[in-house]
Amino acid sequence: MNMNNNNLAVVYALLIWIGITGGIGDILLYKWAKAVHFGWLLAAYAVWAICIASLGLLFKLNHFSFGAAVVLATVIHLAIGVCWSLLMTGAKVTNLEIIGLIFAAIAVVLLEMGRA
């Protein structure tokens, strides 16, 4: 992969991958906290290691500044966590949380538009 000529689809696929693996790591940690089974904790660490290595690759691609890359990966990571929480734990989202999610989506758009 040429690190200087990035395909936007590859960059965003990597961002989504980072968000998914980070979210899965969080879910596994939650499972460990509820079940107290050491295997969940080890699985969380393994998935987080993949997430962090993928974030390193995103930095290597040099498509975004450090701050923008971290913000975008974090927004996707949080979206995964919110979706899991809503679908699997029956949590409710408040109006203020919805507004926060909207602002997060706007941040993603603005960061990408700033690159243009």
**Residue 99 CB coordination number (10 Å):** 10
Sorted by where each begins, the domain ranges of the chain are: 8-115
Separation of first and last alpha carbons in the chain: 22
Q: What is the pLDDT of residues 96-107, one digit of tens each?
A: 988 888 888 888
Task: Render pLDDT for 11-50 as a digit per residue (tens, 0 to 9).
Answer: 889 988 998 999 899 989 988 998 878 999 999 999 999 9
Its pTM stands at: 0.74
92-97 average pLDDT score: 85
Q: What is the pLDDT of residue 116?
A: 61
Binning the chain into helix, strand and coil, the percentages to the nearest 5 are 85, 0, 15
Task: Give whole-number Cα distances, 99 to 60, 92, 95, 104, in Å.
Answer: 33, 14, 6, 9
